[in-house]
Each structure stands twice: as C-alpha cells, then as structure tokens.
C-alpha cells in the first residue's frame, strides 16, 4: 500500500479538487483530509459520517478551590495573564505550559487535556474517508493531522487498498511536517505565478528534508507559459517529474459550484484526461 500526499506551498492551488478527482477514479480507496484547519474535501466527496470521536489537543491548568489558599504565587509566575484575581484559569489565555503547577506550594493546580476538535470516520461512494475539524481558535493541528493519518492507515491496511490518498495542509508549517511523515510520495500542486515558483521551492525543500520523493502537477499551466517553462526547467535540473500540466478551465469552478469533482462534472473533458494521466502515473508506483 502506497501513501500519497497531495500538498501545495499555499492554499488555493487546486490541491483539494485534484485529491477529490483522483479519489473518484479508484474502485476502493482510503482518503484522509489532513487540511484540518480548513477542511473542504467533504464538499466534493460527500462523506456519510459513521463515527465521531473527540480530539484532545493541548493542556489547560485547573485550580482546585478546596486546596487553593490564594497565596498568589501562580499569578506571579504565569507569563500569559491566564489566572484571574479570584484564582480561576482563563481557558483562552492558558498556554498549558505547566509553570503554575510546579510553583503552587499547595498542589492546588492540575493539568487536563482539553477537547480541541473531532475526528470523523465516514463512508464515501468508493471507500472510506477520515477527516477532522478543529474547534474555533484551537491550535495543535499538527497533532490532529497525525491522528487523522494514523486512523486512515489502520483502515487502509484493514481494507488492503493499493493507495491511501492524503489531502495535505497548505504551506510548510507544523501540520505539513506531520503530514509528510511516512508517505511514499508527495504530489506538489503549483501554479505558474512568481509566488507559486517560490512556494514550490520551499515545499520541495521540506519534502527533501524528510526524505520524501516528490512529483509536481502544474495547475493553470497555460496562464503564464513563460513561468511554466521556468518551473519545468527548475524541476528538470532537480530531476523531479512533472506528472501533468493542467490548463486553466472555468469548468473546475462550475464543478465546484455544483459540489462535484471535475471527473464527475465533465468525464470526457481535457481536465479529466489530465487527472486520469496522473492516476495512471501513480498506478506505476505499485
Ligand atoms: S499558587 Fe496555588 S495556592 Fe497559591 S493562589 Fe495559585 S493555586 Fe492557589
Ligand atoms: S499552565 Fe501556564 S499559561 Fe496556563 S495558567 Fe499555568 S502558568 Fe499560566
């Protein structure tokens, strides 16, 4: 079983549309939406949620009023102003550092894991989808990404599928690092803009750093042929394969408006041919 991660240096490159479209071409697949800060794969794949579970992210301090003598030591040491004058913890200010626990002379403070979001195990028409949602204002998306991936891996092994597809987070932050771990291939989606080239270089460096092989899809490749050539020249030098060049098409937008993948919206269109070309190249990985 091969784990394929689809990522991009920034949001809005068409990464999720591509993941959803490739997913639809398999008879049985496990797909994970690891873009947990802004998940939208569900819009196109319409998962039927079968199971929910709580995601416990960071820790919070809690003061036991029975034990607290109101000595004030915790307010002195808390660098985040998270303890009120009447010695309760402000949930949205506490960073979970634990300094107050170490400093309370009366063992009145304990740490507990807060509920930061939810995991979902869902059925899609042709397989299983694992996804999640962080509660508003919550962090720790790297940990949630790891959780979603681990759950997806369990299902992929159980169902003995050939591929597990992962819609990764954009950028090169902590969630992307979490999503890169253990994958067989990173498919990087880029666009021929100046910032697109820069973002591509950054994300390639991150994948290289973790020893993950990369291949590239150039989306909207005809919008700036000069930049597309620059990208191809750079990738050629780095010995990185271009899986496909997808021309700009307003049909991607039309498909999105109807909450359909491009391969469902226009099965015989040039766009769908590009997606099938990508799939056939991915199939050679097995
Ligand atoms: S340090 Fe402990 S005892 Fe002192 S005010 Fe804080 S919680 Fe209460
Ligand atoms: S855990 Fe850290 S941030 Fe939270 S109340 Fe204690 S000292 Fe302040």
Q: What does pTM read for this prediction?
A: 0.86
Between 111-120, 171-180, 257-266, the lowest mean confidence (pLDDT) is in: 171-180
Q: What is the pLDDT of residues 12-67, one digit of tens each?
A: 888 999 999 999 999 999 999 998 888 899 999 999 999 999 998 889 999 999 99
- Cα–Cα dist 20/254, whole Å: 15
pLDDT in the model for residue 253: 92
Q: Whose CA is nearest to atom 4 of ligand 1?
A: 71
Q: Per mean pLDDT, which range of 139-143, 222-226, 229-233 is the poorest? A: 139-143
Cβ of 63 less than 6 Å from ligand 1: yes
Q: Where are the domains of the chain?
A: 2-46+125-283, 57-115
Q: How far is the CA of 124 from the centre of ligand 2 (A)?
A: 42
Interval between CA 109 and ligand 1 midpoint (Å)? 7
Average pLDDT over residues 149-164: 93
Model confidence band, residue 286 (pLDDT cutoffs 50, 70, 90): low
Q: What is the CA radius of gyration of the chain?
A: 22
Rounded to whole angstroms, the Cα distance separating 214 from 180 reads 11
Cβ neighbours of residue 268 closer than 8 Å, sequence gap 6 or more? none
pLDDT mean over 165-179: 85
CA of 138 to the centre of ligand 1 (A): 27
Residue 172 reports pLDDT greater than 80: no
Q: Report the 3 state secondary structure along 228-249.
A: HHHHHHHHHHCCCCEEEEECCC
Beta strands in the chain (DSSP E): 2-7, 29-33, 48-63, 109-124, 127-134, 163-167, 185-190, 214-219, 242-246
Handedness of CA 71, 74, 79, 84 (dihedral sign): negative
Q: How confident is the model at residue 179 (pLDDT cuts 50, 70, 90)?
A: confident
**Residues across the chain:** 286
* Residues 171-175, mean pLDDT to the nearest whole number: 78
What local confidence, expressed as pLDDT, does residue 140 receive? 66
Looking at 3.40.50.880, 3.40.50.150, 3.40.710.10, 3.30.70.20, the CATH number of the domain 57-115 comes to 3.30.70.20
Closest CA to 60 of 13, 92, 14: 92
pLDDT value, residue 242: 96
Q: Which range among 11-15, 74-78, 136-140, 173-177 has the greatest average pLDDT?
A: 74-78
- Measured distance CA(222)–CA(247) in Å, rounded: 5
Average pLDDT over residues 236-246: 95
Q: What is the mean pLDDT of the chain?
A: 92
For 84-137, write each residue's pLDDT tens digit.
Answer: 999 999 988 999 999 999 999 999 999 999 888 999 999 999 999 999 988 887
Q: Which of 62, 63, 94, 101 to mutate to test the pocket of ligand 2 (most atoms within 8 A of CB)?
A: 94
Q: Which residue has the least CA distance to atom 4 on ligand 2?
A: 94
**For residue 55, which of 148, 128, 123 has the smallest C-alpha distance?**
148
Q: For domain 2-46+125-283, give the CATH number.
A: 3.40.50.300
Tokens 């009120």 locate to 84
**pLDDT confidence band for 284 (50 / 70 / 90):** confident
Beta pairing partners, 132: 119
Q: Is 3 helix (H, G, I), strand (E, B) or coil?
A: strand
pLDDT at residue number 11 = 78
Q: Does position 138 have pLDDT exceeding 80, yes or no?
A: no
Q: Which residue reads 């190249």 in tokens?
A: 281
């Amino acid at each position: 079983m091969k784990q394929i991660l689809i990522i991009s240096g920034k949001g809005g490159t068409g990464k999720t549309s591509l993941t959803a479209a490739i997913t639809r071409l398999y008879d049985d697949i496990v797909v994970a939406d690891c873009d947990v800060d802004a998940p939208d794969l569900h819009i196109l794949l319409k998962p039927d949620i079968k199971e929910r579970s709580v995601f416990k992210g960071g820790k919070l301090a809690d003061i036991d009023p029975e034990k607290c003598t109101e000595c004030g030591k915790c307010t002195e040491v808390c660098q985040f102003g998270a303890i009120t004058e009447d010695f309760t913890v402000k949930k949205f200010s506490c960073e979970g550092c634990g300094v107050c626990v170490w400093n309370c002379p009366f063992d009145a403070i304990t740490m507990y894991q807060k509920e930061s979001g939810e995991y979902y195990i869902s059925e899609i028409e042709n397989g299983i989808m694992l996804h999640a949602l962080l509660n508003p204002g919550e962090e720790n998306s790297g940990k949630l990404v790891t959780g979603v991936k681990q759950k997806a891996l369990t299902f992929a092994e159980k169902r003995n599928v050939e591929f597990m597809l992962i819609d990764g987070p954009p950028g090169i932050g902590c969630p992307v690092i979490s999503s890169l771990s253990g994958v067989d291939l990173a498919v990087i989606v880029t666009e021929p803009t100046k910032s697109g080239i820069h973002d591509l270089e950054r994300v390639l460096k991150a994948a290289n750093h973790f020893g993950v092989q990369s291949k590239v899809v150039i989306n909207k490749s005809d919008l700036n042929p000069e930049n597309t050539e620059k990208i191809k020249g750079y990738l050629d030098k780095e010995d990185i394969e271009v899986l496909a060049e997808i021309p700009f098409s307003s049909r991607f937008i039309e498909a999105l408006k109807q909450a359909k993948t491009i391969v469902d919206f226009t099965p015989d269109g040039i766009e769908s041919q590009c997606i099938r070309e990508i799939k056939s190249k991915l199939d050679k990985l097995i």
